[in-house]
Amino acid sequence: MRRRSLALGASLLAAALVAAPATAVAQAKARGTSAKAKTPVRKGNKAKKPGRKAAPAPAPAAPALPKLETWTLDNGLEVAFVPVRTAPVVTVHVWYHAGSKDEERDKRGSAHMFEHMMFKGTEHVRPEQHARHVQRLGGSVNAFTTQDATAFHNTLPAEYLGFACQLEAERMRNLLFRDEMIDTEREVVKEEIRQADNNPLQKAVLELFDAMFTKHPYAWTAGGDAAGLERTNKQYLQDFYDRYYVPNNALLVVVGDADRGAVERCANEHFASIPKSDEPERKASPGDEPEQTQRRNRTEAPAQLGVKIGGYRIPGARHEDVYALQVLQTILSGGESSRLHGRLVRDDKVAVAATGSNFVLEHPGVFGVFAAFLAPDQADKVEAAMLDEVAKLRSKAPSAREVRKAKNQLLAGYVFGLESVNGLAQQVGLSWINTGNPGHWRGDIAGYEAVTPADVQRVASTYLTEDKLTLVTIPPGGSAAGGAQ
């Protein structure tokens, strides 16, 4: 199963690494020609005067959004339904408001381990049979754990909507806890942790969160650690299940070829009889982490690939500045034409990849910038160039054209995310987890469009200051490494 929160930043940087050889500079070198493009002048048209800037393109038309219907059962289970008639399929998600930030500090990884256990058998479904039942019908299943949530999804032919609801309701309250199963899944998760520790990109992300959060449980991601898993016993897992895997801590999402009546019958028949529980205990609150007032630096042991990751704390998903921060991040790191890639990879040639990611979470998250490099003597240059590009956006607002381009990139990602029933259900579930509103995503386009160049400079000056920076360095192999500072 996937651990999205652990690998998000690392996957973006890995994607940049794959794309890096395809830059114009690399292609030009292979051909033995200059990477500088020539602009043809058509006959009968005058060439533009040097230095004259084209006006930014107008905003594209906003896409039509599908209808969203929501309601709540008497036992507290929230239901969200989006009808989509493009294909005879449905996706059924159940999102639990329980992630790694709800774990005990000495039992890190238990929420992720629990995700695995949910496939290992209930009173009426044998181990692994949930997935096999859906797959026999031509469908697919998966699950993931983040700092804030654990989600399970089933995509299958529309006529089996009720069956998917039945399977999910069964494991909401009828999971079996067997010692041998717990021991097996503990070892599976520990192996995933070992794989992450051997990946310098994922290792850097983990160290960044650990250095940035001294009080809040965002200090660890959903992957957890081996020591915490060893302390996770059967009784703790049972208590975790009884506390968080209850209807009044969950959202049922149905997207696809169905009508509201069918979804209501599905929810009422299979979920309504599950008793409501006490309000779940929360281990963390948004204000747990004290304000950072001094730069933090951490250097880890060398790896095959050198990595520099800088992080700044940003507000949680409900905050209005999130939209401007997303535009800012896209200007810095959105593809090969972004400022970070252009400076570090194409122009200065000190890094093999440079990108970034915003970890927008329920509580205050992280604005991250990343660079990967091979030569030990380039480490200082990589850091200087990366932080200089951040400083430029603090001191001067980007152009309207650059902001428009970033908005177009965000809009494209938004639209592509709505192309599938599963993508739509993800938007609904994440909105509910991060903001408490399953329809929050419907305002994203307006939120992005309202951002001005001055807003981008303002949030850069507010959140991306030198004293709020945490920088993690993993030197390339052969370099000397210091300790955490």
List residues bridging with 71 in a β-sheet: 79
Q: Contact, 424 vs 393, CB < 8 A? A: no
The better pLDDT of the pair 92, 225 is held by 92
In the block, residue with structure tokens 């639990």: 96
Residue 299 has pLDDT above 90, yes or no: yes
Res. 147: pLDDT tops 70: yes
pLDDT band at 194 (very low <50, low <70, confident <90, very high): confident
Domains present along the chain, CATH in parentheses: 69-270 (3.30.830.10), 291-474 (3.30.830.10)
- Quote the tokens at residue 214: 């001294």
**Residue 154, strand partner residues:** 92, 141
Q: Give the helix, strand, coil percentages of the chain, each rounded to 5.
A: 45, 15, 35
pLDDT score, position 98: 97
Could you identify the residue written with the tokens 């506390």? 243
What are the pLDDT digits (tens) for 21-43?
333 323 333 333 333 333 333 33
Residue 53 pLDDT level (bands cut at 50, 70, 90): low
**Which parts of 265-424 are beta strand (E)?**
296-299, 306-314, 353-359, 365-373
**Helix ranges restricted to H, 175-320:** 179-197, 200-212, 226-230, 234-244, 260-270
The angle at the Cα of 238, spanning 267 to 191, to the nearest 5 degrees, equals 100
- Between CA 6 and CA 209 the distance in angstroms is 10
pLDDT for position 54: 58
Q: What is the pLDDT of residues 253-284, one digit of tens each?
A: 999 999 999 999 999 999 999 999 999 989 89
**Residue corresponding to tokens 């905003």:** 59
Inform me whether the pLDDT recorded for 286 exceeds 90: yes
> Which residue shows structure tokens 């009426």?
124
Q: Are 378 and 372 in contact (CB under 8 A)?
A: no
**Residue 5 or 198, more confident:** 198
At 14 the pLDDT is 42
Rounded mean pLDDT of the chain? 88
In this model, does residue 342 exceed pLDDT 80?
A: yes
Measured distance CA(400)–CA(56) in Å, rounded = 6
pLDDT tens profile 384-397? 999 999 999 999 99
In sequence order, the 6+-apart residues with CB closer than 8 A to the CB of 11 are none
Residue 196: predicted pLDDT: 80
* Whether 4 contacts 143, CB under 8 Å: no
pLDDT score for 41: 37
- Residue whose tokens read 């709505």: 418
User: What are the tens digits of pLDDT across the range 148-187?
Assistant: 999 999 999 999 999 999 999 999 999 999 999 999 989 9
Tokens 């048209």 sit at which residue? 45
Look at strands 69-72 and 89-96 and give their pairing.
unpaired
Segment 286-297 shows an average pLDDT of: 95
- Report residue 46's pLDDT band, with 50, 70 and 90 as the boundaries: very low
Q: Which amino acid is at 432?
A: W
**% of the chain surpassing 70 pLDDT:** 87
